[in-house]
Amino acid sequence: MAVTTKRLPSLGVIEARLHMLYGERKTAERLLQKRQQQYDEVQAEINKYEEYREQKTAKGQ
């Protein structure tokens, strides 16, 4: 029975993969931050509308 050994990737390959993963992480963090900002802006608009609606309801009574 022949014994086969699996070659480990070279240090350069490992380093390149780490750089790629780090870049993907940074990109994901930027996108998440952008989405959070958009969410916050929409939430602020919703809050303004609800406040306006409450004031209008209070005046109507």
Residue 9 is predicted with a pLDDT of 83
* 32-49 CB burial, b ≥16 within 10 A, e <16: eeeeeeeeeeeeeeeeee
Q: Does the residue 57 lie in any domain?
A: yes
**Cα–Cα dist 37/49, whole Å:** 19
Q: For residue 8, which phi and psi values (nearest 5 degrees)?
A: -80, 150
How do residues 21-59 score in pLDDT, each as one tens digit? 999 999 999 999 999 999 999 999 999 999 999 999 888
Residues 6 or more apart whose Cβ sits within 8 Å of residue 9 = 17
- 1 pLDDT higher than 70: no
What is the DSSP code (8-state) at residue 12? Answer: H
Find the domain containing 34 and state its range: 26-61
Q: Does the residue 12 lie in any domain?
A: no
For the chain, the domain total comes to: 1
Q: Which two tokens stand for residue 21?
A: 């993963």
The pTM of the full predicted model, rounded to 2 decimals, is 0.59
- 7 pLDDT higher than 60: yes
